């Protein structure tokens, strides 16, 4: 009996030791992750990080400026500082009318087809429109409206009963206008050139539509977003949540 | 006395199967705990061979040595002195001594068996 007990404790303790050794072994011997990126991939990664860095820096700067403004305004007028912030946020969310340099893209049916008398396309497919908007965003378009509907971050473009709708509003019949505005006339010029060189025109042509890009206009106005913005899944972050990134 | 070896193999097998990893900063503590545990194990084997084995001494020695070694290492980290070296030294020396004693006992047993034959 005593010997049996002795054996059990020996086995148990040596099993624990073995377990510990195995864990230690696994901890120390980590698989070596090899970096297989070549020079250009590395350069791209560096570029991305640098862009991120500069973005973050500018964000920090703007926030610091705001902080400074709050501090200096606090004594004089807390209300004004808050109103300014609300206004700023409204502009950012697209709830204000914007007048800025920009250009107008016209989407219309192809003229040749009208003459032939074939069935002409009467609407733009949501996919095409999304593609165009993505492209515009890629070229730094700041404020966009399609057929008088302001496009904001939460805008949905979809097909409901064979009608393309933007945030629930149906697009009117062709031709429709896509108004794009940016912050500076130089950017507008750049956007114009990029749009002229882009494939969007061909993509519209495949769907029997013609996309015309107007010359940059120094003063162009974009309507405000007129629906209420509903926030369903967003919650305010508490100070001790969400990590520090 | 193949039981410890069997237990060791079972333990290693289990450990490798579960794929547990501890944070790197604690691996120091674990390594010193392993050393302490090995020391206890060999001490136990030696005591068993010398017929002075005591279950309580063995089991309590196992846990106590591990705790002592880990807390010594912990204290060392916080004092900025490599105190775990003391534990490594002490356990290392004892490990060698125990193994030497075990070897001698085995040698004596072997030679007496040979003489008998």
ipTM: 0.83
Q: How many domains is chain A partitioned into structurally? A: 2
Same domain, yes or no, for A175 and A61? no
With contact defined as beta carbons under 8 Å apart, do A147 and A177 qualify? yes
State the Cα–Cα distance between residues A119 and A128, nearest whole angstrom.
19
Residue A227 belongs to some domain of the structure? no
User: pLDDT value at position A31?
Assistant: 65
Domain that holds residue A89: 39-93
Residue B29 belongs to some domain of the structure? yes
Same domain, yes or no, for A77 and A107? no
Task: Pick B55's closest partner by Cβ from A9, A11, A25.
Answer: A9
Written as one string, the DSSP assignment of chain A is -HHHHHHHHHHHHHHHHHHHHHHHHHHHSPPPPP----HHHHHHHHHHHHHHHHHHHHHHHHHHHHHHHHHHHHHH-HHHHHHHHHHHHHHHHT-S-EEEEEEEEEEEE-HHHHHHTPPPP-S--HHHHHHHHHHHHHTT--EEEETTEEE-TT--EEEETTEEEETTEEP-SSPEEEEEE-SSHHHHHHHHHHHHHSTHHHHHHHTTEEEEEPPPEEEEEEPPP-SPPP-SS--PPPTTSS---
Same domain, yes or no, for A87 and A177? no
Residue A215 belongs to some domain of the structure? yes
User: pLDDT value at position A225?
Assistant: 84
Residue B13 belongs to some domain of the structure? no
State the Cα–Cα distance between residues A23 and A211, nearest whole angstrom.
65
Does A17 contact B at CB distance below 8 Å? yes
In DSSP terms, which residues pair with A221 in a beta bridge?
A99
With contact defined as beta carbons under 8 Å apart, do A212 and A111 qualify? no
Residue B55 belongs to some domain of the structure? yes
Q: Do A13 and B40 touch (CB under 8 A)?
A: yes
Please say if the pLDDT value at position B24 is more than 60.
Answer: yes
Residue B98 belongs to some domain of the structure? yes
Residue A133 belongs to some domain of the structure? yes
Among A97, A168, A107, A156, residue whose Cα is nearest residue A130: A156
Average pLDDT over residues A206-234: 81
For testing contact with chain A, the best of B24, B34, B69 (most A CBs within 10 A): B34
User: pLDDT value at position A195?
Assistant: 83
Please say if the pLDDT value at position A76 is more than 80.
Answer: no
Comparison of pLDDT for A238 and A150, the residue scoring more: A150
Same domain, yes or no, for A65 and A126? no
Residue A194 belongs to some domain of the structure? yes
Determine the residue of chain A that is closest to B17 in CA distance.
Answer: A22
Nearest-CA distance A1 → chain B (Å): 13
Residue B10 belongs to some domain of the structure? no
Comparison of pLDDT for A64 and B87, the residue scoring more: A64
Residue A191 belongs to some domain of the structure? yes
Residue B14 belongs to some domain of the structure? no
Please say if the pLDDT value at position A162 is more than 60.
Answer: yes
Please say if the pLDDT value at position A243 is more than 60.
Answer: no
Q: How many domains is chain B partitioned into structurally? A: 1
Count CA within 13 A, CB hemisphere, residue A96.
11
**CATH label of the domain that carries residue A111:** 3.30.70.1880
By a Cβ cutoff of 8 Å, what residues of chain B touch chain A? 3-16, 19-22, 24, 27, 30-31, 33-34, 37-38, 40-41, 44, 48, 53, 55, 58-59, 62
Same domain, yes or no, for A126 and A208? yes
Q: What is the pLDDT of residues A182-191, one digit of tens each?
A: 888 888 888 8
Q: What is the pLDDT of residues B27-76, one digit of tens each?
A: 888 888 888 888 888 888 888 888 888 888 888 988 998 898 888 888 88
Residue A87 belongs to some domain of the structure? yes
For testing contact with chain B, the best of A1, A3, A24 (most B CBs within 10 A): A24
Domain that holds residue B69: 24-116
State the Cα–Cα distance between residues A188 and A182, nearest whole angstrom.
6
Does A26 contact B at CB distance below 8 Å? yes
Q: What is the pLDDT of residues A114-144, one digit of tens each?
A: 666 666 667 788 888 888 888 888 888 888 8
Same domain, yes or no, for A106 and A83? no
Please say if the pLDDT value at position A78 is more than 90.
Answer: no
Average pLDDT over residues A137-163: 84
Nearest-CA distance A46 → chain B (Å): 28
Same domain, yes or no, for A81 and A115? no
Residue A204 belongs to some domain of the structure? yes
What is the CB neighbour count within 10 angstroms for residue A28?
12
Residue B111 belongs to some domain of the structure? yes
How are beta strands A98-109 and A217-222 bridged, if at all? antiparallel
For testing contact with chain A, the best of B1, B8, B29 (most A CBs within 10 A): B8
Same domain, yes or no, for A115 and A82? no
Q: Do B12 and A18 touch (CB under 8 A)?
A: yes
Please say if the pLDDT value at position B77 is more than 80.
Answer: yes
Residue A1 belongs to some domain of the structure? no
Mean pLDDT of chain B, nearest integer: 87
């Amino acid at each position: 009996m005593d010997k049996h007990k002795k054996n059990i404790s020996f086995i148990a303790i040596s099993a624990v030791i073995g377990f510990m050794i195995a864990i230690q072994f696994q901890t120390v011997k980590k698989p070596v992750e090899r970096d297989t990126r070549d020079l250009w991939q590395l350069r791209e990664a560096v570029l991305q990080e640098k862009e991120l860095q500069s973005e973050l820096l500018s964000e920090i700067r703007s926030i610091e400026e705001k902080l400074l403004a709050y501090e200096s305004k606090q004594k004089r007028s807390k209300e004004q500082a808050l109103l300014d912030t609300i206004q700023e946020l409204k502009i950012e969310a697209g709830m204000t009318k914007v007048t800025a340099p920009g250009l107008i893209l016209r989407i219309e049916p192809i003229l040749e087809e009208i003459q032939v008398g074939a069935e002409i396309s009467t609407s733009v497919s949501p996919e095409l429109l999304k593609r165009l908007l993505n492209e515009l965003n890629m070229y730094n378009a700041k404020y966009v409206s399609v057929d008088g509907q302001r496009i904001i971050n939460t805008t949905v473009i979809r097909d409901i009963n064979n009608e393309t709708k933007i945030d629930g509003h149906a697009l009117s019949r062709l031709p429709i206008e896509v108004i794009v505005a940016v912050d500076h006339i130089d950017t507008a010029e750049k956007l114009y050139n990029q749009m002229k060189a882009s494939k969007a025109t061909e993509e519209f042509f495949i769907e029997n539509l013609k996309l015309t890009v107007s010359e940059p206009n120094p003063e162009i106005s974009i309507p405000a977003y007129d629906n209420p913005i509903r926030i369903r899944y967003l919650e305010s972050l508490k100070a001790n949540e969400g990590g520090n990134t | 006395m193949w039981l410890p070896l069997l237990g060791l193999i079972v333990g290693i097998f289990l450990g490798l199967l579960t794929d547990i990893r501890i944070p790197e900063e604690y691996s120091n503590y674990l390594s010193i705990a392993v050393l302490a545990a090995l020391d206890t194990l060999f001490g136990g084997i030696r005591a068993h061979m010398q017929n002075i084995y005591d279950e309580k001494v063995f089991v309590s020695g196992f846990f106590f040595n591990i705790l002592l070694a880990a807390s010594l290492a912990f204290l060392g980290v916080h004092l900025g002195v490599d105190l775990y070296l003391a534990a490594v030294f002490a356990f290392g020396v004892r490990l060698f001594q125990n193994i030497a004693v075990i070897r001698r006992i085995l040698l004596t047993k072997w030679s007496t068996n040979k003489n008998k034959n």
